[in-house]
Amino acid sequence: MSKIFDEVLAANKSYVAAFDKGHLPMPPGRHFAILTCMDARLDPAKYAGLSEGDAHVIRNAGGRASDDAIRSLVISYKLLGTREWFVIHHTDCGMETFTQEIMRDLLRKSLKAAQFGESGWSDVGQGEGHPAGDFINWLTIQEQSESVCADVQHIRSHPLVPQDIPIYGLIYDVKTGKLIEVPEAMQIGRAG
């Protein structure tokens, strides 16, 4: 196994030794959900003041309102009682560094990891690529406020999302840790 694998299992062993959360109920205690980015610099528990069992946190690349993210939000509401949702993107997001075309081109050339440099993304690996990436919407981001608004609108207009759920649109600043409201997204996400 790898060093990382061993470190994760060692950390889990320490966690298990002090574990006292087995009594927590399945529904989130504070009845809300956060859709945010998978970026390792974001710690929703810290920036939103969460403890285990407080809220659902749904993470994906860019914190985008993909079909799977909406599926999770609907389950969060319908079966587990969340009543408010937060869409939180962030500054300096990797999803701003490429386009649909760039990602598709990189995957057609090689399935190895790409590298980011002064001129953008480039393939450094050898090997075969595949055109299957042509059929995926990579949900890239051109401008953070616009993407937050688009995602809140996409969730708000989904036929499986009740109109009485408020959907808040914010941007997390990776330099300061501050959550910044996006006024237009807040307006779009108002409960009706």
Q: How far apart, in whole angstroms, are the C-alpha atoms of residue 167 and residue 86? A: 6
Nearest to 59 by CA among 48, 161, 157: 48
DSSP string, 117-167: ETTEEEE---S---GGGGGS-----S-HHHHHHHHHHHHHT-TTS-TTS-E
Work out the average pLDDT over 43-53. Answer: 98
- Domain regions of the chain by residue span: 26-97+138-188, 99-129
% of residues, the chain, pLDDT over 90: 96
Is residue 127 pLDDT above 90, yes or no? no
Question: What's the pLDDT tens digit per position in 145-181?
Answer: 999 999 999 999 999 999 999 999 999 999 999 999 9
Question: What's the pLDDT tens digit per position in 70-80?
Answer: 999 999 999 99
Q: How far apart, in whole angstroms, are the C-alpha atoms of residue 109 and residue 130? A: 7
Query: What class does CATH assign to 26-97+138-188?
Result: alpha beta
Work out the average pLDDT over 11-34. Answer: 96
Q: How far apart, in whole angstroms, are the C-alpha atoms of residue 87 and residue 147? A: 10
Is residue 182 pLDDT above 80, yes or no? yes
Token pair listed for 3: 């060093």
* Pairing status of strand 55-60 against strand 84-90: unpaired
CB 120, CB 97: distance < 8 Å: yes
